Amino acid sequence: KRPEDLPSVAVLAITGRDDDGELLAEPVEWDEAAGAPPKITVTLEKKQAGPAPGVGDRILARLRTDDEGALSARVIRVIERKPEGVIGVIRMAPDGARMEPVDRKQKALRIEAADMGSARDGDLVGVVVTRLGRFGFDRAKVVEVIGSMKSEKAVSLIAIHAHDIPHVFPPDVLAEAKAAKPVPMREREDWRDVPLLTIDPVDAKDHDDAVFAEPDSEHEGGFIVTVAIADVAWYVRPASPLDREALKRGNSVYFPDRVVPMLPERISNDLCSLREEEDRPSLAVRMTFSAEGRKTGHRFHRIMMRSAAKLSYQEAQRAFDGADIGRGARIAGALATLWQAYAVLKRGRDAREPLELDLPERKIVLNKDGGIDRVIVPERLEAHRLIEEFMIQANVAAAETLEARKSPLVYRIHDTPSLAKLEGLREFLASIDVSLPKGGNLRPSHFNRILARLEESEHSQLVHEVVLRTQAQAEYNPENIGHFGLNLRRYAHFTSPIRRYADLIVHRALIRALNLGEGGLPDHYESQLPAIAAEISATERRAMAAERDTVDRLVAHWLADRVGSTFRGRISGVTRAGLFVKLDETGADGFVPMSTIGNDYYVYDESRHAVIGRRTGEMHRLGDQVEVKLVEATPLAGGLRFELLSEGRILKRSERPKDEPRRRGRDGARPAGRRR
């Protein structure tokens, strides 16, 4: 990650002041392999609400870059300060107990017997430092026993605590959820006879969307598509204990072994889950599409529905492929019509030309002990694409309705790539004899044409990776700039209110704008939407980081007894400090330090996403297939360190980087990777 890759809203740690007394901060989420984190100047509003931040505080801030590339941050809010603590695992040794920190940048701590509390060997604990050691270890005291690390089932606990993810519901929240009653029929349209179907992963525990389609009798070749979404807004009212906790969490967090839900199970898995053959309240949108797949109209309804069937993606796909899945003629007919409607919507999608990136995601399958059984690449089915396109159209309908009603809302925005990133992509593509049109007014179709042209070439995977890195990060904002990746002028999240707070805000806005009854967005919430959007953008990134860290730790556990083994992989990242390599077998990323690559002085070539030996001209580039040896696996930190065994491509002298001042290590070899 580089400074230009930072999101527009981020959590920062204030680290000190500059010579003028201005506060300086660093991103909390920063990959140290990319070098030292950037220094960001913190600006305070004259009428700053709440306490002023100081050194040691964490803040949620909006980032800006000036014409010279300097970063500054405007404070959105000060994040609650907590006593400085360290998380790690107790390791018993003959000379006493030590704590091995989760964070690789922190050092081990000694814990006296009197300060152990109830902690035992192998426990994940939180400690506070009680005394700094002039020589040897600092001393610490256990203040919290989080759980035993003897089982890999506890691995996700590390990420939950390291990222401060709320995971225990307060008593008042549970009490409110427990007291909730089924929704009465009043003021709702009765759609219980409509054969709405839920189509979800086979292991899904909550079902928040259902779909139905029928031919449009008034327009030949057209279809009417209905998407019904769980009416969470009925149960989670603004400023209630449930609402405050949902905003604090922002979204559900999905680990391989558990889910940290945004809402208690009484709401998410029961009252709001669209269970088969059970009455459930819903907010539905009925959309009409022309034979060309263009949406010609839509209308929202607050309904009572009854799911006709709960299907997995695999079941739905078998039905689409013509198999009898044993659900009867009514369900078979409903599925057949869904498939016909999808064929029409796909025409519209193809005409819209959203960004088409093919980057398969791996899924970890756990064994009964919580460890990795295997790593798979789930097949991407047309059933997945059908649901995805139906949900996208429902999200568009929500944004269009609220915008037409001049209602406040939280958009899902995705900015165009920055000029700096486009120039970097242009230079990279030129190195493989591919041109990108000049100027900043590019559309997703420009990228798609390049990806299609290179689909059968050796560079295909590499170009997909680089195009992905060129893209901005999607986020939430009450101001609309459109969604570049989907190629949409307006877009909002409406379809997952059980697991995303943004969708709940949109539901409330629709209820108020369309006079659909109780649970609408209060008037005073409009002024709070910028802060709410920033908050849930940050919690989304927090969840992604926690999920990624947990997968890294599980894979490191799995590979710890294979140190010394060789693996095939692909270079997935190139920095001044070294190379990241993604293994073909597991999808795990590990690091090759620059100081261990060959017997040469390697120069980082940013435009080519490569490191190049000055003497030999040997080049290792992003996307290259390589063989590596596993040198070290650190399960607690989730780190893998590799040795590069493959030789790179030798460049002609004319292709090599221009000379720069040479630096030597003590033995005359090139020094370790440089940082700036």
Looking at the fold, whether 198 and 125 belong to one and the same domain comes out as no
For residues 238 and 328, state if they share a domain: yes
pLDDT at position 3 over 80: no
Of 501, 523, 547, at which residue does a domain stop?
Answer: 547
Show which of 25, 45, 79 is a domain's final residue.
Answer: 79
User: Per the domain annotation, does 642 fall within a domain?
Assistant: yes
Residue 671 maps to a domain: no
- Choose between 543 and 32: higher pLDDT: 543
- Quote the pLDDT of residue 84: 62
| Nearest CA among 180, 181, 182, 192 for reference residue 303 | 192
Domain identity same for 364 and 397:
yes
As a dihedral over the C-alpha atoms of residue 513, residue 514, residue 516, residue 521, rounded to 10 degrees, the angle is -10
49 pLDDT above the threshold of 70: no
**Would residue 430 count as lying in a domain?**
yes
Residues 238 and 285 in one domain: yes
Q: Is residue 97 part of a domain?
A: yes
Predicted confidence at residue 155, as pLDDT, reads 87
Work out the angle at residue 314's Cα, subtended by the Cα atoms of residues 258 and 291, and round it to the nearest 5 degrees. 120
Residue 420's pLDDT band (boundaries 50, 70, 90)? confident
The verdict on 146 and 268 lying in the same domain is no
pLDDT of residue 663: 42
Indicate whether 403 and 490 sit together in one domain: yes
pLDDT at 359 (0 to 100): 78
pLDDT at 522: 95
Domain membership of residue 401 (yes or no) is: yes
Ramachandran angles phi, psi of 56, nearest 5°: 100, -15
669, pLDDT greater than 70: no
Average pLDDT of the residues in 485-497: 98
**Does the residue 165 lie in any domain?**
no
Most distant pair of Cα atoms in the chain: their distance: 84
Render the burial of 337-360: b for 16+ CB within 10 Å, e for the rest. bbbebbebbeebbeeeebbebeee
CB of 421 closer than 8 Å to CB of 489: no
Residues 560-594 pLDDT 10s: 999 999 999 999 889 989 999 999 888 889 999 99
Do residues 406 and 421 share a domain?
no
Confidence of residue 53 (pLDDT cuts 50, 70, 90): confident
User: Do 230 and 270 lie in a common domain?
Assistant: yes
End of a domain among 25, 59, 79?
A: 79
Residues 205, 112 share a domain: no
Instruction: Count up the domains in the chain and report the number.
Output: 5
Range(s) of the domain holding residue 112: 86-150
- Do 342 and 238 lie in one domain? The reply is yes
Provide the H-helix boundaries in 408-527: 419-431, 444-453, 460-470, 501-513
Single-letter amino acid, residue 239: A
Structural domain contains residue 383: yes
Q: Provide CB contacts within 8 A for 26, sequence distance 6+.
A: 12, 13, 15, 37, 38, 39, 40
Question: How high is the mean pLDDT of the chain?
Answer: 89
CATH number for the domain including 123?
2.40.50.700
Residue 28 confidence (pLDDT):
84
- Structure confidence by residue, pLDDT tens digits, 458-472: 888 888 988 998 999
* 169 in a structural domain: no
Backbone angles phi, psi at 109, to 5 degrees: -125, 145
Instruction: Check whether residue 60 and residue 196 sit in a common domain.
Output: no
Q: Are residues 192 and 251 in the same domain?
A: yes
Give the model confidence (pLDDT) of 375-406 as tens digits. Answer: 888 889 999 999 999 999 999 999 999 999 99
* CATH number of the domain where residue 597 is located: 2.40.50.140
